[in-house]
Structure 1
Amino acid sequence: MKRVLITGAAGFLGSHLCDRFIKEGFHVIGMDNLITGSLSNIEHLFKLEHFEFHHHDVTTFVHVPGELDYILHFASPASPIDYLKIPIQTLKVGSLGTHNLLGLAKVKNARILIASTSEVYGDPLVHPQDEEYYGNVNTIGPRGVYDEAKRFQESITMAYHRFHGLETRIVRIFNTYGPRMRLNDGRVIPAFMGQALRGEDLTVFGDGLQTRSFCYVDDQVEGIYRLLMSDYVFPVNIGNPDEITIKDFAEEIIKLTGTDQKVIYKDLPVDDPMQRKPDITKAKEILDWTATVGRAEGMKKTFEYFKNLTQEELYKSEHKDFSKHIRK
């Protein structure tokens, strides 16, 4: 049985990746320091023989006993609320954490996939964004802690590939959504849905004409899995190119939730990108991948998930005793 280490396993994407690799017949080792992740996301896996969880911060030395075939590095704050609140940890997990895991991959002779982001393109001057675009990033702006952590992550990964011959993969993840997102994580979809569920007006920053392209989590996980199993070592965009303005998206959410809230406007945050749309030519050609879940279908599934999370259930999910499942 092949063994895979998934860091950030208790997070949104990490938990879905754990599900996928269990389904594919792997022994899955999940690792998370739980700064932004929640064990409730992987609670259903604790009873399985071929899943184990390690409560550990990858910015310190990482040791995993036994053989490893694959490593997926998804440990990082991913929302503006998180990485603006914990900027130093964000930089450390992208630099020290990545260095530690590349070293582990070298020792174990494992293939490693690094989770990068569309934020490496910054506020782009080309549209849509393809993998050859170098980006337009403010290194000293408030968002720079996340953007530059990911850019460094890509650089050191390619250095390990070129210098040590390590098998590496890099996925550039565009806006992804679905069940297990946190209502309070600050990203546009949970923010809008949380406001709708609480009967609050929906907050749009700027004039709302900035665009985003949203990819459902099942499509994202499929793209990541195909990239890991491919022979391609350079970055690949995985995202849904169906682009929409934030203003129009807010109206879609109001219609979906059946509420009658207004849209209110606030000042645009510093360095908030005005356009975000992936060029997925490489993903199509190299991985035979494209997004298959439309926004209407995906948003309906996501809203059902949020709608079923009562306040009581949210409280319980954050305060269950998971200690017997955790390996320090």
Structure 2
Amino acid sequence: MMRTVVTGAGGFIGSHLVPYLQRHGCRVRGVDLKYPEFTETTADEFVLADLRQPDAAAEVLAGADVVFALAANMGGIGWTHAAPAEIMHDNLLISTNTVEACRRSATSTLVYTSSACVYPGYLQNRPDAPALREADVFPADPDMEYGWEKLTTEILCDSFRAAHGMDIKIARLHAIYGPWGCYEGLRAKSLSMLCGKVARLPSTGGEIEVWGDGQQTRSYCYVDDCVEGLWRLSRSSAPAPINLGSIERVTIADLVSRIAHTAGKSVTFRYLPDKPVGPLGRSSDNDLCQATLGWAPRTSLADGLRHTYEWIERDVTGTRDLVRGGA
């Protein structure tokens, strides 16, 4: 069995990736500062470790054939504005220690999860901005400190690939969502947070706050597509970063309307234009993903949103199932 390590296995995407890899014949060691919040881990081994410490990273990554590097101090736009220095500090340490530990251990393949936040703000300054292509990343103007760290680590990976002959794959994730994701507090991402707000309304409906004016656009990628893409990327010969995202773009106002329709509730929105909203328009160009992997994310927003809202509603009402949260 392929010896596989998933860092960040206690997080949202990691919780989905671990069982996916096991279904594909991998023996998985999960690594994180904490166990998963919303489900029981299925990892063959789960190690609590702080990857900001070089010795800890070296120990947990030793002997791995493949490493999926998901560990990061991250959250939604509320968190990136609340803790920029902490995010930059922690993630630079985690990423550097992970890449160096893989080099020392002669890991066969490292899959690093970057972010759409690496793309320049000047390409995302209107709701109908063109979809982002992988080659668009320079001249650099990433999204806050989180984006700068991700782009810096991409450059680090390129340097280690060239200097040490390492097989390093890079996935640029675009707004991943689904069951088992945080849906309240500063670390919650927009889609899940909005689902949580609607789920907490009474059955008759009510009013929720929405950051911005509702006209900003996003493309949301369902978590099942994300983990399949990471697996396919790990087995590919892709030498350059690849987008893992959806091409289906939606305004935030339309997204909230879809959530209300899914919930069967009458919802009014109170927009807060003084709150941070990030880029005005962000979506994924999947041409390179399709050409390189022979595949691209395909779950519709309607299907993914239904699965996600149903899970969040069950969690809010205390009726969720710990065994399986997704479709």
What TM-score range do you get, normalising by the shorter chain? 0.7 to 0.9
Instruction: Give the corresponding residue for 1:322.
Output: none
One-letter identity of the residue aligned with 2:134: E
Instruction: Give the corresponding residue for 2:284.
Output: 278
Among 109, 115, 118, which residue is 2:113 paired with?
115
One-letter identity of the residue aligned with 1:39: P
Secondary structure of the residue that 2:60 maps to in structure 1?
Answer: coil
Structure 1 residue 201, shift from structure 2 partner = 2.2
Structure 1 residue 286, shift from structure 2 partner = 0.4
Instruction: Give the corresponding residue for 2:256.
Output: 250
Instruction: Give the corresponding residue for 1:4.
Output: 4
- Alpha carbons 2:196, 2:316 under 8 Å: kept: no
**Greater shift in the superposed pair: 290-299 or 76-85:** 76-85
Give me the whole-angstrom Cα distance separating, in 2, the residues matched to 1:229 and 1:269: 41
Instruction: Give the corresponding residue for 2:93.
Output: 96
Among 210, 214, 219, which residue is 1:213 paired with?
219
One-letter identity of the residue aligned with 1:26: C
Aligned residues between the structures: 306
- Alpha carbons 2:161, 2:168 under 8 Å: kept: yes
Structure 1 residue 122, shift from structure 2 partner = 4.1
**Greater shift in the superposed pair: 83-92 or 126-135:** 83-92
Give me the whole-angstrom Cα distance separating, in 2, the residues matched to 1:164 and 1:216: 34
Name the TM-score, length of structure 1 as normaliser: 0.86
**Greater shift in the superposed pair: 77-86 or 14-23:** 77-86
Secondary structure of the residue that 2:137 maps to in structure 1?
Answer: coil
Structure 1 residue 99, shift from structure 2 partner = 1.2
Structure 1: runs of 5+ lacking an equivalent: 318-328
Runs of 4+ residues deviating >6 angstroms: none
Give me the whole-angstrom Cα distance separating, in 1, the residues matched to 2:39 and 2:45: 10
Instruction: Give the corresponding residue for 2:168.
Output: 168
Secondary structure of the residue that 2:229 maps to in structure 1?
Answer: helix
Query: What are the residue-to-residue correspondences of 1:18-97 with 2, within 5 Å?
Result: 18-34=18-34, 38-45=35-42, 51-61=44-54, 62=57, 63-64=59-60, 67-76=63-72, 77-97=74-94
Change (3 A) 1:294 1:65: closer
1:148-178 CA-partner distances (Å, limit 9, x unpaired): 1111111111111111111101000001111
One-letter identity of the residue aligned with 1:128: A
- Alpha carbons 1:169, 1:227 under 8 Å: kept: yes
Secondary structure of the residue that 1:45 maps to in structure 2?
Answer: coil
Give me the whole-angstrom Cα distance separating, in 2, the residues matched to 1:282 and 1:230: 13
Instruction: Give the corresponding residue for 1:233.
Output: 239
Change (3 A) 1:68 1:27: same
Give me the whole-angstrom Cα distance separating, in 1, the residues matched to 2:172 and 2:62: 30
Within the alignment, does 1:261 sit opposite 2:267 as a pair?
A: yes
Secondary structure of the residue that 2:315 maps to in structure 1?
Answer: coil
Give me the whole-angstrom Cα distance separating, in 2, the residues matched to 1:138 and 1:100: 25
Secondary structure of the residue that 1:43 maps to in structure 2?
Answer: coil
Give me the whole-angstrom Cα distance separating, in 2, the residues matched to 1:228 and 1:146: 24
Instruction: Give the corresponding residue for 1:320.
Output: none
Give me the whole-angstrom Cα distance separating, in 2, the residues matched to 1:86 and 1:4: 31
Structure 1 residue 44, shift from structure 2 partner = 4.4
**Greater shift in the superposed pair: 270-279 or 226-235:** 270-279
Query: What root-mean-square deviation, in Å, do the aligned CA atoms of Structure 1 and Structure 2 show?
Result: 2.2
Change (3 A) 1:245 1:115: same
Give me the whole-angstrom Cα distance separating, in 2, the residues matched to 1:268 and 1:220: 32
One-letter identity of the residue aligned with 2:114: S
One-letter identity of the residue aligned with 2:199: L
Structure 1 residue 86, shift from structure 2 partner = 3.8
Secondary structure of the residue that 2:50 maps to in structure 1?
Answer: coil
- Alpha carbons 2:9, 2:30 under 8 Å: kept: yes
One-letter identity of the residue aligned with 2:117: E
- Alpha carbons 2:178, 2:305 under 8 Å: kept: yes
Give me the whole-angstrom Cα distance separating, in 1, the residues matched to 2:310 and 2:139: 37
